[in-house]
């Protein structure tokens, strides 16, 4: 994009969180106008927008429930009225951990609803508009748990692993339209998500790099995959995990 061109627009679901916020900042630094999504907490999304604008970038905030197809479609219709959305980063996801033997149906469905059904509800309405402009970048944020498994996370691993198959299939469907579809699978990343489950000694034990990654390291890959330079990278699942697998 030239300096005078209208910026391409990117929607980041879960953009108000730690990893989502880092992704929003990286995309804005790469020239995108970033739509920062939150589920309910619009003020958190607006805080990310304010920080991006303070750094000289372009951004706006939105809030809607990705698990509600009708609500998501209405929100996307509103966003599309302002022009095409050229990139979508499916970063929204939740944990509700527990061994499967004691897991409730609600725990199972809630996690899958956000990560997997949210992926469909947000991505599907954007495909034809992307195809019309012959450019699209779809990146879904998965997890090393989807690749290796993790005790207490059958629901989370199932939801994220499903994104791998969906993304590989969608990449084949949309590649001729200039649209790429990839998955980024982070490992142990600093922030609230790792909590007390990963003290430093545990991280040194399970991560060959012997440290946790940072949200910025994941965001850098996402931003690259959304760039012009990444146009021939398609249908891939790329780990950001310090060598875990």
The per-residue pLDDT of the chain, averaged, comes to 95
Q: Is it the case that residue 127 has pLDDT exceeding 60?
A: yes
When divided into structural domains, the chain yields a total of: 1
Neighbouring residues of 233: CB distance < 8 A, sequence distance ≥ 6:
180, 182, 225
Yes or no: say if 1 and 7 are a contact pair by the CB < 8 Å rule: yes
Q: What is the pLDDT of residue 200?
A: 86
Other C-beta atoms closer than 10 Å to the C-beta of 14 total 27
The share of the chain scoring above pLDDT 90, in percent, equals: 91
For residue range 37-87, what is the model confidence (pLDDT) as tens digits?
Answer: 999 889 999 999 999 999 999 999 999 999 999 999 999 999 999 999 999
pLDDT band at 192 (very low <50, low <70, confident <90, very high): low
Q: Is 32 a catalytic residue?
A: no
Whole-model pTM: value is 0.95
Evaluate whether residue 3 is within a structural domain.
no
Evaluate whether residue 165 is within a structural domain.
yes
Q: Where are the extended beta strands (E) located within 101-173?
A: 136-141
Query: Where is average pLDDT lowest: 3-17, 59-73, 126-140, 229-243?
Result: 3-17
Evaluate whether residue 96 is within a structural domain.
yes
Evaluate whether residue 4 is within a structural domain.
no
- DSSP 3-state assignment of 107? helix
Q: What is the pLDDT of residue 2?
A: 45
Q: What is the DSSP string of 13-54?
A: TTTTSHHHHHHHHHHHHTTPEEEEEESS-HHHHHHHHHHHHH
Neighbouring residues of 21: CB distance < 8 A, sequence distance ≥ 6:
15, 36, 48, 51, 215
Q: What is the pLDDT of residue 42?
A: 95
Q: What is the pLDDT of residue 190?
A: 92
pLDDT band at 198 (very low <50, low <70, confident <90, very high): confident
pLDDT band at 245 (very low <50, low <70, confident <90, very high): confident
Q: What is the pLDDT of residue 40?
A: 87
What is the Cα–Cα distance from 165 to 188, expressed in whole angstroms?
A: 22
For residue range 76-100, what is the model confidence (pLDDT) as tens digits?
Answer: 999 999 999 999 999 999 999 999 9
Q: What is the pLDDT of residue 113?
A: 97
Q: Is it the case that residue 240 has pLDDT exceeding 80?
A: yes
Q: How do strand 58-63 and strand 9-12 relate by DSSP bridges?
A: unpaired
The torsion of the CA quartet 137, 140, 219, 75, rounded to 10 degrees, works out to 70
- Terminal Cα-to-Cα distance of the chain (whole angstroms): 36
Q: Give the CATH number of the domain where residue 166 resides.
A: 3.40.50.720
Among 32, 64, 119, 156, the one annotated catalytic? 156
Q: What is the pLDDT of residue 64?
A: 97
Evaluate whether residue 25 is within a structural domain.
yes
The two tokens of residue 60 are: 């706006």
Q: Is it the case that residue 3 has pLDDT exceeding 60?
A: no
Residue 76 lies in domain: 9-240
Evaluate whether residue 2 is within a structural domain.
no
Evaluate whether residue 111 is within a structural domain.
yes
């Amino acid at each position: 994009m030239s300096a005078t061109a209208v910026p391409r627009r990117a929607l980041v679901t879960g953009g108000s969180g730690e990893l989502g916020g880092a992704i929003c900042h990286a995309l804005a630094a790469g020239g995108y106008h970033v739509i920062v999504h939150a589920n309910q907490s619009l003020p958190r999304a607006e805080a990310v927008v304010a920080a991006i604008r303070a750094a000289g970038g372009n951004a706006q905030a939105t809030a809607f429930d990705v698990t509600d197809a009708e609500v998501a479609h209405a929100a996307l219709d509103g966003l599309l009225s302002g022009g095409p959305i050229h990139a979508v980063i499916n970063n929204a996801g939740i944990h509700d951990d527990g061994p499967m033997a004691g897991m409730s149906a609600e725990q199972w469905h809630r996690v899958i609803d956000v990560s997997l059904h949210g992926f469909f509800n947000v991505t599907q309405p954007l495909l034809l508009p992307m195809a019309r402009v012959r450019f699209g970048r779809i990146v879904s944020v998965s997890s090393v748990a989807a690749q290796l498994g993790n005790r207490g996370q059958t629901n989370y691993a199932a939801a994220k692993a499903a994104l791998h198959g969906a993304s590989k299939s969608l990449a084949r469907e949309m590649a001729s339209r200039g649209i790429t579809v990839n998955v980024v699978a982070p490992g142990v990343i600093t922030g609230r998500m790792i909590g007390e489950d990963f003290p430093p000694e545990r991280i040194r034990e399970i991560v060959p790099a012997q440290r946790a990654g940072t949200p910025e390291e994941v965001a850098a890959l996402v931003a690259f995959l959304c760039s012009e330079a990444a146009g021939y990278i398609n249908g891939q699942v790329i780990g950001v995990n310090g060598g875990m697998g």
